Each structure stands twice: as structure tokens, then as C-alpha cells.
Structure 1
Amino acid sequence: MGKVWFVGAGPGDPDLITVKGRGLIAGAGAILYAGSLVAETALRWAPSGCEIADSKDMTLEAITGWLIEKARVHDRVVRLQTGDPSLYGALIEMARPLDAAAIEIGVVPGVSSAMAAAAAAVESLTLPEVTQTVIITRVAGRTPMPEGETLEALARHRCTLCLFLSIRLLRKVRSALCAAGWQEQAPVLVVHKASWPGEEKIIRGTLADIEARCRAEQVDSQAMIIVSPTLGARHWPSLQTSKLYDPDFTHRFRRRVGSEGEG
């Protein structure tokens, strides 16, 4: 039996795949990639003769069946997934049948679209004394949310929210956040195909108008929604800076200014 590697392809730009992930692709005997989400350019490192298939029209059973079949032939099989395999990637659903077939599994993390979206817009998801917490979640759709995890309940924390798989549910986002106490004029960032060369779109707005702005840009898929009290901080008149770099702060690599000889 060969080994199946679940590799995070990152958000879209093939250069954002990890060096380890690229190396696994270069040595793979078979690759199954999520064609609806992963740019085909990520396959540029696949060796000649590598078996390559697109899973966009496969069921879960077909995907795991393909991986098991190829692992019986090749030493290395790669399942190439968008972003990071541990986030909305059906990793455990695919791992369980492979475990039952006694096939070894490895996972290589990837850059999440949440991080890529923040990078594209030059935004920070955390700021000192503003928020130190990031919630990664989604709006309930065909997949219901577990008890206690409604968007309204999570939004009451008033921290950064990164919303996956929710771009067609912006009206629900607005309703839930307003019910949780957010203002209609709270800033919202939407990034479509973050990091995809020539396809990325950055849309800024508020809870009140972001749906209309996205509709005007014809963005209704593959988009990250970020709602955060940190948005736009580059242009604030003042900012509370991190204590880590404060000259009065001592840590194991630096003593505070004027502390020589103290104690």
C-alpha cells in the first residue's frame, strides 16, 4: 500500500503552496485535485506520467474509492485541496475509509483563504486592545450549525469574524450581526479568489451595503467575508501598539530601556 497525502494547495496563487506540498506533488504517482476550487496551475510540478483526476463531480465515496485504488498502485498519492485541509475540507470523512483500508495518511497544511484575504487587503485580524480573537465560522445553509454556534451568538463576542461559504447569504450575515449589536455602518471586507493571479477582487463596504456592492461586482462564489473591529486601522488617527515592542517592556531577549543594573 502507498501513502495518501492530503495537501493544502493554499488560496489560489500556486506560489503560496508550501515547499513540502510542492515536493509531494513532484513525486506523486497519482493526484486527485479539487478542480472547482484549486487552480490547475498548482499541478505544474506533477511529474510526467502522473495520473491526474479532477474530483469536482465526484461523491465522497467516489473520492475515497479513487484514493484507495491508486494507493494500491503508487507509493505516493496526493489529494490536493484548497486552502488548508483541516478547514471545511472533509478531511475526517475521507480519512476514515482510508483508515479502514489500512492506508497510511499524511497531512500538509496550507494557507487559508482567511489569511490570504486579510493579506490581500493589508488588514490585521487582531490588534492590541481592540480584539485578540478570531472566529472562523460560516452561516447556516444546507449544513446546519451546532447548538450554540449560530452567527448571532458568535457575533456577540464583537471580535473578528471570518465567514466561509457564506457569500450568497449576506442578508443573513447582516441580520445576525445587527441582532448581536453591530451597527449597520460596521465595516465589512469581501475578497473574491484571494491571491488568484488576475482574478482577485477586493470589495469594501458596510453591513448595510456590502450585499449590493458584491452584486455590482458579480461576486457570488469563492469569497471570504471578514467583519472585524480592526478593519481600516491603517487609517485611524491613533493606534494602541503592542507591548512586545514597547521600550518599557522586558522579555527574555530584551530588557526595558534604563533597566541595566536593576535588581
Structure 2
Amino acid sequence: MVYFVGAGCGAPDLITVRGQRLLSQADVIIHAGSLVNPQLLQEAKEGCQIYNSASMTLEEVFSVMKQAELDGKTTVRLHTGDPCLYGAIREQMDLLEREDISYDVVPGVSSFCGAAAALRAEYTLPDVSQTVIISRMAGRTPVPERESIARLAEHQSTMVLFLSTGLLSELSRELIAGGYPTDTPAAIVYKASWEDEKVCRCTVETLAQTAQEQGITKTALITVGRFLEGGYSRSKLYDPQFTHEFRKGQEL
């Protein structure tokens, strides 16, 4: 059996209870060494085989999984954050299905959630934004034209950008070209929930300058939107005049 486990966004205690249990029971662990907190590997039992996938190809990763299955061993494929976002797990699952190897997926705390916690912010605020767009800049991995940052920016909603820290000048241009005013609030969240977490607030126009001043070149998320300003309307759910299934509104 192979388990794809979300390691969480950094802090070792942000892995799920299920993920931690599987990690402690695994015979083989394949982890994204450049991103997963190494403290999590302390959960591994004695004799567990540990592989760092940072230097491995898909074929090499699958070879380890397949051999472990032939040997009757349990494998944990430990991904950063939640494996459903930029985890490249679909191609791994397809290979497992082709060989009729059973697998399961254990979700984790994504870094976009960790970033919101670091910012002490809510992405979805009444009368500000009710939509969160998660995307990335096109780099060596292309992005469909219909999903270009400029096209997505037309919505003027909350945006969270992964894998774009090295392209901040281009990102600023795309955001502004899409319609965000230059003074739109933005933030760079470096290593959300890690011990060396850093939050840098700026605007869409000053993203690149801010990152340069702070020495941030990778392992960061970019958040954009008016949700960072602080203004919003009160939620209807807890408004005393609002009636719903569990409470009758009060007349004032």
C-alpha cells in the first residue's frame, strides 16, 4: 500500500493525526527533501528506508514504490502542504493504477492556509472578495493562456500565487495589466509556519523591490487583494437581525 501524505506547510505539528500515524508505521518514506520539514522524519520507525525525492525522477520514485510493494512493505510518499496543489501526484497515481498497486491520499494543511494564518487574515470578506484564485506565474512549466495572471487579475478577487517568487517583476506587470491598481495591497509570506517565517507587506507595484530588500528568492507565497486592507461588511451569519435554520432574527 502506498499513502500520499500531506506534510503540512512547515511546522511539524501541522501534519494531520492520520498522517503522523502512517509516517510512524511506514517501512519506506519518500519525501520532498527540499520542502518538507526534516523534523517530521523523526517519526520514522527504526529500520525505515528513507529516500529524498529532490534528486529523483518520477521513474526512480515509482521504482522504489513498486519494489516496496513487491516486498510487502508500506510506503509513505510525503509531500509538502497538501498534495493536491502542485504536488505532481496524478502521474504517480496513474503509474500505481497501471500496476494495480493500492494507494490512498491523506490531505494536509496547504501553505495558502498557513499564509493566511501568518497574515492573520481572512481571504473571503463580505463586500470585499468571495473568491480565492490560486495560481502561478508561467515559468519553465507553462500555464494555459486562458489562465494567465493578467486574465485572472481581471476578476479583482483575492489571489494566492505559488511558485512565483523568482518572477516578481513580471508578476507585478501582469497583475497591473489585468486591472489591479498599483497600490493594491499585497504580501510576501516566506516559509509560512516555519520557525523562520517572515511576512512582508507591500503593494502589487513593490513586490520585486520588497523581496529584494528582504533577501527572499524562493519558498514564499504571494497574496494579493483588498482583503489585506481591513475594511469589510459584517457577516450575515452572526448578525442578530438575520434569520437562519438555527436562529430567528431579532427585530431592532
Same fold (TM over 0.5): yes
| Partners of 1:178 and 1:184 within 8 A in 2 | yes
CA distance, structure 2, for counterparts of residue 37 and residue 151 of structure 1: 25
CA distance, structure 2, for counterparts of residue 249 and residue 76 of structure 1: 52
CA distance, structure 2, for counterparts of residue 146 and residue 209 of structure 1: 26
Counterpart mapping for 1:36-47 below 5 A:
36-47=34-45
CA distance, structure 1, for counterparts of residue 66 and residue 244 of structure 2: 51
Q: Which moved more, 1:162-171 or 1:248-257?
A: 248-257
| Structure 1: runs of 5+ lacking an equivalent | none
Deviation string 1:22-58 (CA, Å, 9 cap, x unpaired) is: 0110111110000000011011211111111111100
Deviation string 1:162-184 (CA, Å, 9 cap, x unpaired) is: 10000011111111111111111
SS of residue matched to 1:157: coil
Is it true that 1:227 corresponds to 2:220 in the alignment? no
Per-residue deviation at 1:229? 1.4
Counterpart mapping for 1:1-263 below 5 A:
3-197=1-195, 199-233=196-230, 236=231, 239-258=232-251
SS of residue matched to 1:41: helix
| Partners of 2:8 and 2:80 within 8 A in 1 | yes
CA distance, structure 1, for counterparts of residue 72 and residue 27 of structure 2: 5
SS of residue matched to 2:221: strand
Per-residue deviation at 1:71? 2.0
Select the structure that is richer in helix.
Answer: 2
Deviation string 1:109-147 (CA, Å, 9 cap, x unpaired) is: 111111101101101111001110000100111111113
CA distance, structure 1, for counterparts of residue 87 and residue 24 of structure 2: 22
| Partners of 2:28 and 2:73 within 8 A in 1 | no
SS of residue matched to 2:145: coil
CA distance, structure 2, for counterparts of residue 251 and residue 75 of structure 1: 51
Count of residue pairs brought into register by the alignment: 252
TM-score with structure 2 setting the length: 0.97
What is the aligned-residue identity percentage? 45
Question: Which structure 1 residue ranges, 4+ long, deviate > 3 Å from structure 2?
Answer: none
| Structure 2: runs of 5+ lacking an equivalent | none
CA distance, structure 2, for counterparts of residue 139 and residue 130 of structure 1: 24
Per-residue deviation at 1:258? 4.5
| Partners of 1:162 and 1:225 within 8 A in 2 | yes
CA distance, structure 2, for counterparts of residue 232 and residue 24 of structure 1: 41
CA distance, structure 2, for counterparts of residue 186 and residue 221 of structure 1: 22
SS of residue matched to 1:243: coil
CA distance, structure 1, for counterparts of residue 31 and residue 214 of structure 2: 28
Matched to 1:242, the amino acid is S
Deviation string 1:203-251 (CA, Å, 9 cap, x unpaired) is: 1111222211111211111100000110131xx4xx3111001111111
CA distance, structure 1, for counterparts of residue 17 and residue 229 of structure 2: 32
Matched to 1:213, the amino acid is T
SS of residue matched to 1:102: coil
